[in-house]
Amino acid sequence: MLLIRLLSCQTYTGNILIAINPFQRLPHLYDSHMMQQYKGAPFGDLSPHVFAIADVAYRAMINEQKSNSILVSGESGAGKTETTKMLMRYLAFLGGRSSTEGRTVEQQVLESNPVLEVFGNAKTVRNNNSSRFGKFVEIQFDKHGRISGAAIRTYLLERSRVCQISDPERNYHCFYLLCAAPQEEIQKYKLGNPKKFHYLNQSNCYDLVGVSDAHDYLATRRAMDIVGISEKEQEAIFRVVAAILHLGNVDFAKGKEIDSSVLKDDKSKFHLKTVSELLMCDPKALEDALMKRVMITPEEVINRTLDPLNATVSRDGLAKTIYSRLFDWLVDKINISIGQDPNSQSLIGVLDIYGFESFKHNSFEQFCINFTNEKLQQHFNQHVFKMEQEEYTEEEIDWSYIEFVDNQDVLDLIEKKPGGVIALLDEACMFPKSTAETLTSKLYQTYKNHRRLPKPKMSRIDFIISHYAGEVQYQSDQFLDKNKDYVVPEHQDLLSASKCPFVAGLFPPVPEETTKTSNKSSKFSSIGSRFKLQLQRLMETLSSTEPHYIRCVKPNNLLKPAIFENVNIIQQLRCGGVLEAIRISCAGYPTRRAFFEFLNRFGLLAPEVIERNYDEKVACQKILDKVGLKGFQIGKTKVFLRAGQMAELDARRAVVLSTAAKTIQRRIRTHYARKSFIALRKATIDIQSLCRRILARRWYEHKRKEAAALKIQKNLRRYQARKTFEKLRVSVLVLQTSLRAMAARKEYSYRRQTKAAIIIEVRWRCHKAFSYYKKLKKAAIITQSRWRGRIGRRELRKLKMAARETGALKEAKDKLEKRVEELTWRLQLEKRLRTDLEEAKTQEISKLQSSLQSMQTKIDEANALVVKEREAAKKAIEEAPPVIKETQVFVEDTKKVDSLREEVEGLKASLQREKERADESERIRAQLQELSEQQRKKLEDSDKKIQQLQDSLHRLEEKCSNLESENQVFRQQAVSMAPNKFLSGRSKSILQRGSESAHFGDARLPSDLHSPSMNHQDFSELEERPQKSLNEKQQENQELLIRCISQHLGFAGNRPIAACIIYKSLLHWRSFEVERTSIFDRIIQALGHAIEKTQHNNDILAYWFSNASTLLLLLQRTLKASGAAGMAPQRRRSSSTLYGRMTQSFRGTPQGVSLAFVNGGMTGGSDSLRQVEAKYPALLFKQQLTAYVEKIYGMIRDNLKKDISPLLGLCIQAPRTSRASLVKGSSRSMANSAAQQALIAHWQGIAKSLRNFLETLKANHVPPFLVRKVFTQIFSFINVQLFNSLLLRRECCSFSNGEYVKAGLTELESWCYDATDEYAGSAWDELKHIRQAIEFLVVHQKPKKTLDEISRELCPVLSIQQLYRISTMYWDDKYGTHSVSPEVVGSMRVLMTEDSNNAVSNSFLLDDDSSIPFSVDDISKSMEQHIDISDIKPPGLIRESSGFSFLLPRAD
């Protein structure tokens, strides 16, 4: 039955209204029509409704001249706020004024609700429009029952929501409304999307379903106008709201000094400046107020800076204080605008306050809310339960006393003085060293065996209170901070001095004793005490009024209509005291009626009793006896019925009323049926006569129109026939005239065209014959000139080709010069690296140089002779006459060519002699190199010994530095123990950090180590300490880390574990920020030893390549050069080779090594990793790691080159037997196909090597960017080897060999396709030279190809020298075809002769590029995605060590 009644959204339990939140709009239940129905209606006659409760309160106030109150309670989301709105609307409807009176009080009261909702409501988990404050509205009435004034009282605004919200809740509505304001407002306040603000983006919920923030913003501005807030004040209000949003985006970072903070970045500075502009205060003063505190002592005034955490707390405290002051100003402004009636004698108060709350985490707000509900529950008990039994006594009925739960002991536990929870909380707040644990322990010491205060088992800072609705466990960790009610003096001084009058009005100047630094005589103020006082005043107000109760119930937690959760509803009814009221009512007489009401309602059950005029009490007795009810009682003025008896009486009354209604309905229906029949008969007769009259009139009209139509048709047809005839006659005459004129014009035109055509034909034939004659004459002259020029160029080309043979001598000279330069450079390098062998090598080098100089002199003479001969040839060509006689020129040129050939033979002989001398010098150089190699080995052994000595020296220096740092800490402790014996642990850690920083900042050995103050006794005390020092533990951790990374740790996903552990350890130990450390050298040594042991194992090299590149990428995105690193002394790098960098990485760091090359590689970085100010060792470590990445890359590349080099030698030329079979043209049988497979076995071996190598790199998760670079250079190497072999060996330039190489290249193309572009990249494009050369070998009809087709379409990449080489060496061993035509070869020679004067080398061979094709920035850009190392699990070797606990993943 209760569920059926709840489906109607509202029901009664005695005089208590239970209102169900329908979670949907029901406008028909709350419109003006429904208000009119409930106006003045007796209570209970109509369906349960909030209007009925409001009407009862209003009638009681009017009739009894006594104030009333309506208490609306329930949990969040139950509909308290909407119910309060309905009550105020109905009261405004009852006591409102006419609309001609201007802006009335009731309008201001109603419009104050949306204003307060915007600034005091927010979305929570349970409700989209939850009131985060309590509200009591006093509506005052005059003697005529009209509203004359109002006042609003608010309680306990949730200030912490301004700075901290949880997902999926929202902050207060005003912030989102301002972000959705018109564009000019947003630009004025420098706002934007709510996701940009820290106070709003802590939750992912920004919009409400079905709610438009832009529309609500405009509605709020209109409501502010109604309640009396001016435009200027509205602008100031939203300036303050915008300033709070910008204030939340001000972030802080650690400053240079200890426990100091600075603004984090430019974004924070911008928001700080915007806050100062909006609040009209000084930006510097605002920054100081956030990051500094002034401590006033009797002796002096101390300025103390705050660390970033305390500065953030200061920022949030300022935001909460400003918002709280703004909300209080709004409430005061609304009260002032509405105005109060001092002459009012009666009022109706509407209380909308939070219901009982019990969450998983309950803080100070829940404590105050539940304290309020305890007070209201006591008031409810006193009014409902006690008045129930008092009424039984007054009516003198037979009843027994009913027990009910009294919560006075809970109220005493909370508010009793002294010893209550609030009193103990205030006492703890007055002591600065009090904590949540001391508060809880003192509370349980005060109330050891209190039945309402059970003790939790698992927490020392929690306490439990048994409320009337159940036990609630409170977490007291924030009770002390939230209970303190004071404003930071710096914030007060800053905002009271604002140039904005509104902001200064929010923070009026306060006396000195009310500030935080007040003297001892000032009284302590707290939120709890102030709230207790407000609650006491509220209870006094409620006690002076007649209360009415509305209990709001939330049917489900899904916030959806038509869903009822029985357990949830029962719990809410129990928390609201409804079930207890029902229990007491059922135990007694829940239904009672006055005698007059009872007779008026149920007198129809016994009409004879009413007719005999009995006394009311006797009449009621006779009616109940006739009905046969048992258990009722008759009081003095009322009838008391048991539960269910009223329903039985209503059922019998309904039967009597139903019978009477049926009789009345029968008679009425008979009367209506007779009356309807008579009216229908009369209407039928009238309709029939009217229809007949209409039909006759229509027939007459039809006949008259038919006659008129016949007359009109006759005249119209005659007119149309006459008009058609006239039109046809005129048309025939016009047509005849036109045809005759057309025929005459055609005849004239034909005769004219015939005459003109004859004239044109004559002229055209004459012109054509003359043009043909001129073209034929010109072509003959051009043909003769071209033929003579061609013969002359052919002879000139022969002379130039003969002269160009001397260019080979110059090419050989260039090679020798390059070789000499290379030998000179190597000798100079050996001289610099091995100074101890300088004197022994001086004589051999001088001899070698003298021989080289003599050889150079001879080469220069030969070169000069070649130049002279070339000039003579050019001069002879220039002196020749324009018309060349073939016989004479041929003889003279032949003689010159013979003489040139003889000279060339002589030069070749001299070249051969020079080559022999070069071979002799090469043999001498090999001997010197052997001696140098022996000396180098001795030098390396001495370097190793020096390295060991330097390591020992470094360890001794570190131990001395550690002892000095500990000595400095002890000296500082000894100094600080004199003024203060009890130094806190935090101060000790600060001193230790200061000593460590001082130690790492000094590059020299501490001079205080041998000071007289450090005597032998101090050292003995330090050595006897049982605990190891911090530096020794750090050395142990470093040793453990080196042992761990020396093992193969594998990968976590695609991330190398070793690199991640090294990076996290170095970052945790802050090794990047120290001036001196040995961990970087040890890591580099471990990496170098691992690589040297496995130089030919690609699997191990790939593993270290992946780790080194990942660690280098993390360093590139983390480290940034500091000022100290940039100021290091400058020095030129001692070696530009990879070997030089390797040797430097194993030696001690010199004092003057330059960091200019390091700083250049530190630009960029990733925003996802924290930037670290790196010192010199960290930057040097990064450079050394870069060198190792390049070295491992070169080793992997060279290993693969060694693997495929033997196969490349077999791949360039097909086997002879197979080529012979191809020449003979054997049939293509299955055996031949098997032979073809055997031919490409070498190519398949190369593809298999590439495939295995790719799998190795993939298995070790080498970055795809580096894999692409490796294969690009490998394919470039294949291209160079194959192409050079093709040009140097004539047996390879055959047709069948071209087909063989083409089939092999197909295997490489298939491998590139399988490897995909992610790993192969542009490797296939590197084979362009060999691919185009092979295409030239296998192309058919070569003699028909022109030079343009070959150089631009077939082989655009190859140079003229390379094309000439292939064309001249080509031979067809399969079909016997010829190479390109002689004309094409001649054109190539001409182009080569023209290009011979260029400074560019004419070599047709390709050079292999063995450089490193990438940089650190290239690796960083290619791997732009974030590397997440937070979930890397440490290996077992260090997992159990306490020093590596930071590597364990944290469970949030």
**Catalytic residue numbers, as ranges:** 76-77, 81, 127, 130-131, 355, 357
Other C-beta atoms closer than 10 Å to the C-beta of 130 total 21
DSSP 390-448: HHHHHHT-----------HHHHHHHH-TTTSHHHHHHHHHTSTT--HHHHHHHHHHHSS
Give the containing element (helix H, strand E) for 634.
strand 633-634
Report the alpha-carbon distance of residue 978 to residue 174 in Å, rounded: 56
Paired with 20 in beta bridges are 553
704 by Cβ neighbours in 10 Å (0-12 / 13-18 / 19+) ranks as exposed
Contact between residue 798 and residue 893 where contact means Cβ atoms under 8 Å apart: yes
Please tell me whether residue 546 adopts helix, strand or coil conformation.
strand
Contact between residue 1408 and residue 1277 where contact means Cβ atoms under 8 Å apart: yes
Cis ω before 881 (30° cut-off from 0): no
Please tell me whether residue 148 adopts helix, strand or coil conformation.
strand
Quick one: tokens of 990?
């600060």
483 by Cβ neighbours in 10 Å (0-12 / 13-18 / 19+) ranks as buried
Cis ω before 418 (30° cut-off from 0): yes
Report the alpha-carbon distance of residue 554 to residue 540 in Å, rounded: 29
Report the alpha-carbon distance of residue 1280 to residue 1300 in Å, rounded: 18
Beta strands in 1088-1213 (DSSP E): 1119-1121, 1172-1174
Dihedral sign (CA 949, 955, 958, 959): negative
**Quick one: which of 1024, 1194, 1177 has its CA closest to 1115?**
1177
Report the alpha-carbon distance of residue 736 to residue 750 in Å, rounded: 22
Please tell me whether residue 134 adopts helix, strand or coil conformation.
strand
H helical segments located in 834-885: 838-879
At 696, which amino acid appears?
A: A
Residue count of the chain: 1452
**Quick one: which of 234, 86, 240 has its CA closest to 175?**
240
Beta strands in 34-165 (DSSP E): 68-73, 121-122, 130-131, 134-141, 147-155
Q: In Å, how far are 775, 789, 1267, 1339 from 794, measured between CA atoms?
A: 28, 9, 53, 28
Give the rounded distance of the alpha carbon of 1110 from its chain centre.
23
What percent of the residues of the chain are helix, what percent strand, and what percent coil, each to the nearest 5?
Answer: 65, 5, 25
Dihedral sign (CA 22, 23, 27, 30): positive
Q: In Å, how far are 523, 800, 868, 870, 1407 from 874, measured between CA atoms?
A: 116, 9, 10, 6, 34
User: What is the β-pairing status of strands 134-141 and 346-352?
Assistant: antiparallel
Per the rule left: phi > 0, alpha: psi between -120 and 50, beta: everything else, 772 is: alpha
Contact between residue 69 and residue 348 where contact means Cβ atoms under 8 Å apart: yes
Quick one: tokens of 748?
């004239």
Contact between residue 455 and residue 469 where contact means Cβ atoms under 8 Å apart: no
